[in-house]
Amino acid sequence: MLTYFLLLLAAISLFSLFAGNNQISEDIFWEAVRNGQIAQIQIKEKDGVILGRTKNNVSFYVKVLTADLPNTSKTLREKGVRVQVVGDGFWDYILPWLPTILLVLAMIFITRSFLSGVADGLGGNGKNPLGFLKSKFSSPSEKTIKTRFKDVAGVDEAKAELEEIIEFLRNPDKFTRLGAKIPKGILLVGPPGCGKTLIARAVAGEAGVPFFTTSGAGFVEMFVGVGAGRVRDLFEQGRRNRPCVVFIDEIDAVGRHRGTGLGGGNDEREQTLNQILVEMDGFEENSGIIVIAATNRSDTLDPALIRPGRFDRQVVVPLPDRKGREEILKVHTKSIPLAENVDIAVIARGTPHFSGADISNLVNEAALFAAKTDKNAVEHEDFEKARDKIIAGTERHIEMTKEELEQVAYHEGGHALVAWATPKSDPVHRVSIISRGLALGYTMQLPQKDEYLRDKEKLTAIITVLLGGRAAEEVMLGIQTTGAKNDLERANAVAREMVCGLGMSESLGLLTTKESNGHVVFIGKEIFSRDKNSEATAAKADEEIKKILENCMRQAKDILEKNREKMERLVETLLEKETIESGEIQKILSDS
């Protein structure tokens, strides 16, 4: 605003200086003098300019030679004209520089506006446009961190590993007197939503120390050097407030393996990573600064980052087991009124592979379902609806023809019947022909217990059930539809893993054809790697995959051929009720 005001003031002054002033020639000027038309004259000796006003109050100016000004002044006085000789005024000095001054002011205004905009986008402010060079971290004091280990459920092993870190922050002399060295960095590794950030906060809360938190993506911006500067600022704040916990979430965003993929290696991200390595090396032993980082892609991290002396201790935070899910449910349902028919243990058993975040979402969705129907407490039915929504998606009310509904019913009934008749297959919990998400129907299976190992028979059963829908279309209707697309993709993926990764094939035996480092995660890395498999081996692998799929398809069709009547009863019930629960499914299929 100040710049705008100065520009406006200069324009007004410049306009007022020359507004109404008409330049005339010397001949016209002297003719007006002779005719007595001039009332007042002002002479600027340095510039050779005569400013005047006629008796009719008309302003003018005329330029003459500076050498003639003394004679001009004398002549004018003799003619009775009032003459005033003046030196250089303010505008006489400023006018020659005015364009340059205005240009500089405009450049200052544009630069400040640009930096202020960048600062707002990158974490600075208008008063300090270069504030975005500082690290974007939040640092609540130890008094504001109310998270404790009692708030973290389902990860007992991870909490046990971090107990000694808490003890060190509370009582460092207990370890240093015996020469023990506490790890500088702790890497929390696990799937998304398992509570890695919550655990880090709980460590600081239990120890009663400051907690500085940021994300890996927050270090890298559009300007070169910003990331390294933010790293220095973050660790400098840590040194000033030690003992403390510094938490870097999603460190894989900045700590990926260097020198991989296409493009140059001297990019901003690698400079930031180098600065992190330098800062962690700069710590004194037992300095009181504990760096905790979290990632769900530890395979992409640079080896220098996870070597001893940096992030040398990895704490695995896995998906919770049944007992862990039950504990998490108890934490999240503390503030929610539950009906008498709600059994936390049953809900925990029915949510396999759910993370802590998924369970939190489940409880919230169940509460929303209960609130929509004006209930006073959340019932078991609400948890069932919430789970279906999370797993299969939201119900879609689409108009399908009778023929299409029958095709969907036979497809889903095929999955259910094959699962019922296949050994080692998970029990069918629900079958529905109600559209959810992108699916026209779904068959939900729930394991009786958490599984950590699967044998060949179990994997074959999974493929057989996946192919049950397509098999039912062919056996019962004599058609093939697009509804089996996702089933076929998943069945092929399991069969390929059996052959190429698990050594479960006859012709290839224990030979695995997958790369030992898993799938490529860096663009261009595969250019420099050599395929270790011959074309003949790849062809054999494809044949083995095809053989597994064909055998499973044959088994599914045999089951359907032997149970046609049960299949018809199941489809008839599905078309009538649209959704069938496990108890009714067992009753229909168990009747001879």
Q: Does residue 135 belong to any structural domain of this protein? A: no
Q: Please identify, among 78, 94, 110, the residue that sits at the C-terminal boundary of a domain.
A: 94
Same domain, 427 and 326: no
Same domain, 78 and 188: no
- The predicted pLDDT at position 20 comes to 46
Same domain, 552 and 410: yes
Same domain, 302 and 417: no
- The predicted pLDDT at position 19 comes to 45
Q: Does residue 139 belong to any structural domain of this protein? A: no
Q: Please identify, among 392, 413, 443, the residue that sits at the C-terminal boundary of a domain.
A: 392
Same domain, 428 and 339: no
Contact indicator for 547, 554 with CB cutoff of 8 Å: no
Q: Please identify, among 392, 421, 447, the residue that sits at the C-terminal boundary of a domain.
A: 392
Residue with tokens 């007042």: 40
Give just the sign of the alpha carbon dihedral 393, 398, 402, 407. negative
Between CA 393 and CA 372 the distance in angstroms is: 18
DSSP element (H, E) containing 206:
helix 196-207
Between CA 73 and CA 223 the distance in angstroms is: 65
Contact indicator for 395, 435 with CB cutoff of 8 Å: yes
Residue with tokens 């078991």: 380
DSSP element (H, E) containing 498:
helix 485-500
Same domain, 437 and 508: yes
Which tens digits make up the pLDDT trace of 417-448?
999 999 999 999 999 998 887 788 989 898 88
415 assigned ligand-binding residue: yes
CATH number at residue 57: 3.30.720.210
Same domain, 456 and 584: yes
Helix (H, G, I), strand (E, B) or coil at 55: coil
Helix (H, G, I), strand (E, B) or coil at 224: coil
Same domain, 248 and 283: yes
Helix (H, G, I), strand (E, B) or coil at 484: helix
Nearby residues of 310 by Cβ (< 8 Å), 6 or more positions away: 184, 185, 277, 280, 281, 304
Phi and psi angles of residue 159, each rounded to the nearest 5 degrees, phi first = -65, -40
Into how many domains does the chain fold? 4
68 assigned ligand-binding residue: no
CA distances from 378 to 29, 205, 386 (A): 100, 32, 11
Q: Does residue 423 belong to any structural domain of this protein? A: yes
CATH number at residue 450: 1.20.58.760
Same domain, 262 and 357: no
Domain holding 453, by residue range, is 402-590
Task: Tell me, yes or no, if 572 is annotated catalytic.
Answer: no
Nearby residues of 443 by Cβ (< 8 Å), 6 or more positions away: 412, 415, 416, 419, 428, 430, 431, 432
Q: Does residue 49 belong to any structural domain of this protein? A: yes
Q: Does residue 10 belong to any structural domain of this protein? A: no
DSSP element (H, E) containing 313:
strand 313-316
DSSP element (H, E) containing 542:
helix 535-562
411 assigned ligand-binding residue: yes
Q: Does residue 378 belong to any structural domain of this protein? A: yes
Q: Does residue 104 belong to any structural domain of this protein? A: no
Which tens digits make up the pLDDT trace of 492-515?
999 999 999 999 988 888 888 865
Same domain, 427 and 570: yes
- The predicted pLDDT at position 18 comes to 46
Q: Among residues 221, 365, 412, 473, which one is catalytic?
A: 412
Between CA 176 and CA 161 the distance in angstroms is: 19
Same domain, 256 and 187: yes
- The predicted pLDDT at position 339 comes to 93
CATH number at residue 183: 3.40.50.300
Contact indicator for 422, 461 with CB cutoff of 8 Å: yes
Q: Does residue 202 belong to any structural domain of this protein? A: yes
CATH number at residue 338: 1.10.8.60
Same domain, 384 and 525: no
Q: Enumerate residue ranges in the chain where pLDDT < 50.
A: 5, 9, 12, 14-20, 122, 125-126, 132, 262-265, 517-520, 523-524, 527-528
- The predicted pLDDT at position 73 comes to 72
